[in-house]
Amino acid sequence: MRRTPEPYLWLLFSGGGVVAALLLPVLVLLFGVLMPLGVVDWPAAEHLRALLDSPPVRVALVVVVVLCLFHAAHRVRHTSEELFGIARFDVVIALLCYGGAVAGGVVAAVLMV
Amino acid sequence: MKTRDEVTPGGYRPRRDAFWFARSRAYTVFVLRELTSVFVAWTVVFLLLLVDAVLGGSLPEFAALAARPWMIALNVLALAATCFHAITFLNLAPRATVVRLDGYRLPAWLIQGGNHSLWLAVSAVVAFFVLRGFQ
Amino acid sequence: MTDTTEAVRRASTRTIRVEVSRYRPGEDAEPVFQEYEVPLMADWAVLDGLNYIKDRLDGSLSFRWSCRMGVCGSCGMNVNGEPRLTCGTFLSEYGEGPVRIEPLKGFPVIRDLVVDIDDFLAKLSSVRPWLIREGEEPPLTAEYAQTPEQLEAYKQYSMCINCLLCYSACPVYVLDPDFLGPAAIALAQRYNLDSRDMGDRFDVLNLEDSVWGCTFVGECTSACPKHVDPAEAIQRYKLTAALRSVLPWSRR
């Protein structure tokens, strides 16, 4: 039987979709909109630092980054192919998209170590 | 009896419609739903920049960058996109996960309601830890 | 026939303009629209309008139809850009008109409103849409009893009439005809979820051009006149196939 990586990519996509849905809106609301607009004060750097110092938070952050990026990569791959009719370059597009997600995960891991 | 293979394939096939996504409202909403992923990726990049600033001790510089008008505009878009993603993704989840209790299917609204409640709860917990935490 | 004439004469002078896509191989290089004026009768479906054209105005118009009651699935066409069963779509839905009738999108046009469905028929049989039993030769009188719960598990997917509206509504299929498509996958699920079936369709479903080609636009479900919900069938099989790939020992 022909092996296909699609089931694994879809699981990463789905997991990323759930994680992105649950976590990203509140984070971008706080750090991207409310704090820059001055509606909410920026927390003290030490407070955020203390949050990031806990190992479980660090591991969780790397997982969240990898999953969210795989989610985005999967959708960007399929949508670009459907929008621009470039499905014949699927292998290249897939390598670029998922490669970007892996690269982002490596950056996150390096930051956290 | 005539076999199917004898029927000559062919007939008229129209060219690819380059603007298929504009042909119906549903297609346009679908493409917008998929394009939220670009903002999901941006949000992750933005958060990585934040983490880098916190760990590198340059939070004030990051705050100044985040307060630039174009950055705020970008993040307002990202907020709208991630919310749209959350609503659509959590609503579609029960279509893939059929939960059976006592032989019959759990209705979709129950799963969707649970998903959205979980979204609110997680958001509240995250906001609590970011803004206050256990002092 | 005389009934129709009488009714048309008496009913009204109101008409509706119908723009029909014509394609005559050897004559037309590509489809062109031809306009007809059809009596706007309150109880006429689009199919009745087409039959009026064929009987009274232009006998050369070609289209498929049979049962006129939404069961046979042969009169699917694009009506004002939407895939519809023309026997279940009323002319009066379109007010003053015009109504534009085209062949189903995504299939080669053989003539006028008739499309070539061989591709679909091959796809349909590829998913083995029948009950697969192993290791038994029961007498013809044998019964396979099912509980209401077992029936409910697949009944919705068994309502498919192969009308192909879902293929026409699916941008993935229209852009790339290699995609196995909504109805074939939903019918595979109809048998996968049947307690009497012992087959396994993982080999034809777990492919890039099969369930993994679907990006969950969801329009197959909106188009389905029988409420089969192919989009759901596909997403459910994605989960099944993904879990089976990760957990090799789980069969379903």
pLDDT at C6: 64
pLDDT class of C137 with cuts at 50, 70, 90: confident
Q: Which residues pair with residue C33 across a beta bridge? A: C21
pLDDT class of C139 with cuts at 50, 70, 90: confident
Mean pLDDT of each 10-residue bin along chain B, 135 residues long: 44 92 96 97 98 95 96 98 97 82 78 93 95 74
- Axis-axis angle for helices B69-96, B25-56 (nearest 10): 120
Q: Establish if A76 touches chain B: CB-CB under 8 angstroms.
A: yes
Closest-CA distance, B75 to chain A, in angstroms, reads 5
Task: Pick from A2, A4, A75 the residue to mutate for testing the C interface (most C CBs within 10 Å).
Answer: A4
> Region C90-100: what's the mean pLDDT?
92
Phi, psi of C139 (to 5 degrees): -65, 155
> Region C192-216: what's the mean pLDDT?
95
Cβ–Cβ gap C242/A8 under 8 Å? yes
Q: Subunits with at least 3 CB pairs below 8 A relative to chain A?
A: B, C
Same domain, B56 and B23: yes
pLDDT at C7: 64
B15 Cβ contact partners less than 8 Å away, ≥ 6 residues apart: none
What is the spatial distance between Cα C177 and Cα C63, in angstroms, rounded to a whole number?
22
Same domain, B72 and B32: yes
Closest-CA distance, A23 to chain C, in angstroms, reads 23
> Region C196-217: what's the mean pLDDT?
95
Q: Quick one: tokens of B89?
A: 């993704």
Same domain, B127 and B73: no
Closest among A28, A20, A12, A23 to A74, alpha carbons compared = A12
> ipTM score of the complex?
0.95
Same domain, B68 and B113: no
Cβ–Cβ gap C219/B98 under 8 Å? no
pLDDT over 50 at C226, yes or no: yes
> Region A52-77: what's the mean pLDDT?
96
What is the number of domains present in chain B?
Answer: 2
Same domain, B57 and B112: no
**Cis geometry, peptide bond prior to residue C98 (ω within 30 degrees of 0):** yes
Task: Please report whether residue B24 resides in a domain.
Answer: yes
Task: Please report whether residue B111 resides in a domain.
Answer: yes
Task: Please report whether residue B83 resides in a domain.
Answer: yes
What is the spatial distance between Cα C109 and Cα C180, in angstroms, rounded to a whole number?
19
pLDDT over 50 at C248, yes or no: yes
Of all residues in chain C, the one with the smallest CA distance to A80 is: C215
Task: Report yes or no: C211 and C205 within 8 Å, Cβ to Cβ.
Answer: yes
For residue C248, give the 3-state DSSP assignment.
coil
Task: Pick from B12, B13, B21 the residue to mutate for testing the C interface (most C CBs within 10 Å).
Answer: B12
- Look up the domain containing B115 and give its range: 105-135
pLDDT at A16: 97
For tokens 């579609």, the residue is: B92
Of all residues in chain C, the one with the smallest CA distance to A12 is: C242
Q: How many CB pairs under 8 A join A and C?
A: 36
Task: Please report whether residue B6 resides in a domain.
Answer: no
For residue C223, give the 3-state DSSP assignment.
helix
> Region C131-139: what's the mean pLDDT?
82
pLDDT over 90 at C252, yes or no: no
CB < 8 Å to C149, chain B: 103-104
Task: Report yes or no: B21 and B27 within 8 Å, Cβ to Cβ.
Answer: yes
**The one-letter amino acid at A45:** A
Same domain, B31 and B52: yes
Average pLDDT of chain A is 95
Same domain, B35 and B89: yes
Closest-CA distance, C170 to chain A, in angstroms, reads 12
CATH number (domain holding residue B59): 1.20.1300.10
Task: Please report whether residue B11 resides in a domain.
Answer: no
Closest-CA distance, A79 to chain C, in angstroms, reads 9
pLDDT over 50 at C236, yes or no: yes
> Among positive and negative, which fits the CA dihedral C237, C240, C242, C248?
negative
pLDDT at C135: 80
Average pLDDT of chain C is 92
Structural domains of chain A in order of their starting residue, each with its CATH number: 6-112 (1.20.1300.10)
Phi, psi of C4 (to 5 degrees): -60, -45
pLDDT at B3: 39
pLDDT class of A47 with cuts at 50, 70, 90: very high
Same domain, B53 and B81: yes
Same domain, B85 and B44: yes
Q: Establish if A11 touches chain B: CB-CB under 8 angstroms.
A: no
pLDDT at C102: 98
Of C115, C118, C219, the CB nearest to B7: C118
C4 Cβ contact partners less than 8 Å away, ≥ 6 residues apart: C52, C55
Same domain, B47 and B90: yes
Q: Quick one: tokens of B93?
A: 């989840």
E-strand spans in C87-175? 99-102, 109-111, 114-115
Closest-CA distance, A32 to chain C, in angstroms, reads 30
Structural domains of chain C in order of their starting residue, each with its CATH number: 2-115 (3.10.20.30), 118-246 (1.10.1060.10)
Indicate the pairing of strand C99-102 with strand C15-22: parallel
Q: Subunits with at least 3 CB pairs below 8 A relative to chain C?
A: A, B
Q: Torsion over CA of B106, B107, B110 and B112, rounded to 10 degrees? A: 110
Task: Please report whether residue B9 resides in a domain.
Answer: no
What is the spatial distance between Cα B43 and Cα C100, in angstroms, rounded to a whole number?
45
DSSP A30-68: IIIIIHHHTSSPPPPHHHHHHHHHSHHHHHHHHHHHHHH
Percent of chain A predicted with pLDDT > 90: 95
